[in-house]
């Protein structure tokens, strides 16, 4: 399988549930990202990992917990979410995160999350 994959593609959860989103990249990249896409709003960067180390956390609530066990996998653990957290969660990867020529980000298909 090539590119960036995400599972599950759709997720419905209650506010007391705990779930995890998974992202896997097959591009040999060193940096991975989580974005949130809500209706009528620009994509919001949530987290950046470079070589498995978190390099950016954009004031995301603690009910979202990222994990990057290696450079190919990225998780987003969810717990006690709110209805306003319903959105499309996109994962992306790039060669590096330092802003050079290898910065082009490639996106996965997203997970559509609905919090009831």
First to last CA, the chain: 33
Nearest to 17 by CA among 59, 63, 75: 63
Fill in the per-residue mask, 71 to 100: x = in contact with another protein (CB under 8 A), - = not in contact.
-----------------x-x-x-----xxx
Distance CA 116, CA 77 (A): 17
Decide whether 10 or 16 has the Cβ nearer to another protein.
10
Fill in the per-residue mask, 41 to 70: x = in contact with another protein (CB under 8 A), - = not in contact.
xxx-x--x-------x--------------
DSSP string spanning 50-96? ETTEEEEE-S--TTEEEEEEETTEEEEEEES--GGG-EEEEEEEES-
Decide whether 9 or 18 has the Cβ nearer to another protein.
9
Shortest distance (Å) from residue 50 CB to another protein: 10
The residues of the shown chain that bind another protein, judged by CB under 8 A, are 33, 40-43, 45, 48, 56, 88, 90, 92, 98-101, 103-110, 112
């Amino acid at each position: 399988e090539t590119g960036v994959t995400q599972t599950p593609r759709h997720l419905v959860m209650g506010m007391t549930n705990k779930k995890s989103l998974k992202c896997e990249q097959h591009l040999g990249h060193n940096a991975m990202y989580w974005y949130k896409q809500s209706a009528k709003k620009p994509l919001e960067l949530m987290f950046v990992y470079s070589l498995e180390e978190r390099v950016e956390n954009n004031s995301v609530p603690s009910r979202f917990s990222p994990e990057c066990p290696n450079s190919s996998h990225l998780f987003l653990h969810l717990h006690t979410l709110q209805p306003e957290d319903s959105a499309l969660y996109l994962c992306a990867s790039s060669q590096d995160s330092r802003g050079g020529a290898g910065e082009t980000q490639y996106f996965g298909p997203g997970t559509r999350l609905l919090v009831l």
